[in-house]
């Protein structure tokens, strides 16, 4: 799944580790999200949206089948 | 089975595994088998070391998975995927073991092989039911 996590994180001046710590996941999970290798749970997506003051739809490009 | 335990120094499953080695080592020592006891203590110490190593903030994800020290939802998903392969492999190997032991007609081993297949089959059925209920 495509996402805007990387650009939002870089705009906020955060490292992957710092963002991971802020939302309760590992640096590798943030990296996997940014590279589209991992689809987050609804809980993590909501946590990221709240962290960036955005919505899940704005951050994640959910492609409908 | 939850492997993520923020308040504990290592995961619950590692506490169980290390405890099994330590208790087994103590019992073996009491029974007078010093070398075997030393082996069990060493295995327990090694397992504990690996678990603590995997809990470091900078540990790689594969290190955490190998040590059963899941940190977040991605670790849990990957770990469960990997363990499901282990389970399927164990089930297949058990059936092969049952067939081989039946051909060779080894009574004690045959009984054990039957128990193993039945237990693994039951665990598989229960796991599937739980997974379906959780959706």
* B73·A28 Cβ contact <8 A: no
pLDDT reading at A35 higher than 50: yes
pLDDT reading at B4 higher than 60: no
> Would you call B56 an interface residue with chain A, using a CB distance cutoff of 8 Å?
no
| CA closest to B56 among chain A residues | A26
- Confidence class of residue B2 from pLDDT cuts 50, 70 and 90? very low
pLDDT, tens digit, for every residue of B87-113? 999 999 999 988 988 888 878 888 888
- Confidence class of residue A56 from pLDDT cuts 50, 70 and 90? very high
Chain B: nearest CA to A62, how far in angstroms? 19
ipTM: 0.89
Residue A5 host element (H or E): helix A5-11
The better pLDDT of the pair B109, A50 is held by: A50
Mean pLDDT of chain B: 89
Query: What mean pLDDT is predicted for residues A54-62?
Result: 92
- Confidence class of residue B128 from pLDDT cuts 50, 70 and 90? confident
What's the pLDDT score for residue B110?
83
Both tokens assigned to A30: 């943030």
Substitution target in B64, B73, B78, B80 with the highest count of A β-carbons within 10 Å is: B73
Label the pairing between strands A2-3 and A60-61: antiparallel
pLDDT reading at B52 higher than 50: yes
The better pLDDT of the pair A47, B115 is held by: A47
| CA closest to A41 among chain B residues | B73
* B61·A40 Cβ contact <8 A: no
Contacts of A40 in chain B (CB under 8 A): 73
**Contacts by A51-55, CB closer than 8 A, 24 or more apart:** A51/A19, A51/A22, A51/A23, A52/A8, A52/A12, A54/A8
Substitution target in B60, B62, B72, B79 with the highest count of A β-carbons within 10 Å is: B72
Contacts of B71 in chain A (CB under 8 A): 25-26
């Amino acid at each position: 799944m495509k996402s805007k996590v990387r650009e939002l994180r870089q705009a906020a001046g955060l490292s992957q580790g710092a963002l991971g710590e802020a939302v309760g996941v590992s640096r590798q999970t943030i990296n996997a999200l940014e590279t589209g290798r991992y689809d987050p749970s609804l809980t993590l997506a909501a946590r990221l949206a709240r962290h960036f003051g955005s919505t899940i739809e704005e951050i994640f490009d959910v492609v409908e089948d | 089975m939850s492997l993520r335990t923020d308040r504990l120094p290592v995961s619950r499953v590692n506490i169980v595994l290390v405890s099994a080695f330590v208790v087994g080592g103590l019992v073996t020592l009491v029974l007078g088998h010093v070398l075997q006891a030393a082996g069990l203590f060493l295995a327990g110490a090694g397992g504990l070391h690996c678990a603590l190593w995997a809990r470091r903030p900078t540990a790689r994800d594969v290190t955490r998975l190998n040590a059963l020290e899941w940190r977040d939802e991605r670790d849990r998903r990957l770990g469960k995927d990997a363990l499901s392969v282990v389970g399927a492999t164990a089930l297949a190997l058990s059936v092969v073991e049952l067939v081989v032991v039946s051909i060779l007609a080894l009574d004690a081993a045959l009984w054990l092989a039957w128990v193993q297949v039945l237990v693994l089959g039951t665990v598989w059925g229960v796991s599937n039911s739980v997974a379906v209920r959780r959706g």
